Amino acid sequence: MSHLVLGFDLVIVAGLAWLAWQALFDRHRFSAVVHFMAFGLVMALVWVRLDALDIALAEAAIGAGVTGALLLAALGRLPATSGHAPGWRDSQWPLVLLALVTTLAATLTLAWVAWQLPRPGLAAPIGEALPNSGVNHAVTAVLLNLRAWDTLLEMTVMLTAVCLVWSLGPALMPYAPATSLPGLPALARLLHPLFLLVPAYLLWRGSHAPGGAFPAGAVLGAGGVLLVLTDAVPWMHEPRRQPLLRLLLAAGVLLFLAVALGGVLLAGTFLVIPASVAGTVILAVEVAAALSIALMLMAFYLYGEPGR
């Protein structure tokens, strides 16, 4: 039995290493992108084996789904002649070797540090703090209460990335008109209810089981990407809707900041949520964060600033 499980894990690890190598070094760009998408899938399986279901959910939604779609669409924007990446020039080889050595050294250092970490880790203190955090699931408690600062910074990073993408130029319209691919709008119409239902379910589950704002936002965003593909969200391109779009994009970060400042007023400390209202506040922040994450993913997909 244990031999079987060990073999199972070894196959996953070997597949993961192979896919990572191909995604990085395959000169054929489309092949590299598809290898990256498969890498996300196998990575999610690895997180499942490591018993980290929250990360598996996020990896399945963001790594395998949305990032793969984003890379595929970016590839479609490149001229057809650039299907192959150019090979390395001779002068680049020392840099490649240096990068390999640095990566290897960093990996070994990280492995050494991880080995030195105190055991059994922080599970017990988090378990003690759980009753005052407003939720019953340890991961959600850490993400949105105990270490909410990290999550706030992550949201800010995503918002900055949207600003960067939009600063590149005006938004690109989807290539294929809906009339030439009639199956696409039909698929979007059939699937979109599911893309609304599943995030709602993930958000609701987040308070007591694996789920939460990030996977929910990513699935909602993937549904939105389907809508962008079928050209079904013309309001995003209308100049008079731009203030609303920007407000929604920033809603997650803004509400998070408001909660943080509310902590200063009520408890005297930045980002402290009083235990009596913690459940409600966390739910509100999660809903706003999921909506913002979904819109940010759709905003990446426009490849430029809309309404310009």
Helices 148-166 and 278-301, interaxial angle, to 10°? 20
Stretch that binds another protein, among 119-127, 176-184, 240-248, 254-262 (CB under 8 A): 176-184
Q: For the CB of residue 1, give the shortest distance to another protein in the complex, in Å.
A: 6
Identified binder of another protein from the candidate list 98, 114, 205, 284, rule CB under 8 A: 205
Question: Does residue 34 belong to the site contacting another protein (CB under 8 A)?
Answer: yes
Closer by beta carbon to another protein, 22 or else 242: 22
Question: Does residue 215 belong to the site contacting another protein (CB under 8 A)?
Answer: yes
Instruction: Indicate the SS3 state at residue 57.
Output: helix
Contact (CB, 8 A) for 69 and 39: no
Dist CA 83 CA 31 (whole Å)? 10
Q: Which residue has the tokens 């599911």?
A: 194
Q: For the CB of residue 95, give the shortest distance to another protein in the complex, in Å.
A: 26
Q: For the CB of residue 241, give the shortest distance to another protein in the complex, in Å.
A: 24
Residues within window 93-152 making contact with another protein, judged by CB under 8 A: none
Query: Where does residue 306 rank: exposed (0-12), middle (13-18), buried (19+ CB within 10 A)?
Result: buried
Question: Does residue 28 belong to the site contacting another protein (CB under 8 A)?
Answer: yes
Question: Does residue 298 belong to the site contacting another protein (CB under 8 A)?
Answer: no
Residues within window 37-96 making contact with another protein, judged by CB under 8 A: 37-38, 41-42, 44-45, 48, 53, 56-57, 60-61, 64-66, 68-69, 72-73, 75-76, 79-81, 83
DSSP code for 172: P
Identified binder of another protein from the candidate list 88, 93, 149, 175, rule CB under 8 A: 175
Dist CA 58 CA 66 (whole Å)? 10
Contact (CB, 8 A) for 271 and 281: no
Question: Does residue 210 belong to the site contacting another protein (CB under 8 A)?
Answer: yes
Instruction: Indicate the SS3 state at residue 175.
Output: coil
Dist CA 279 CA 18 (whole Å)? 44
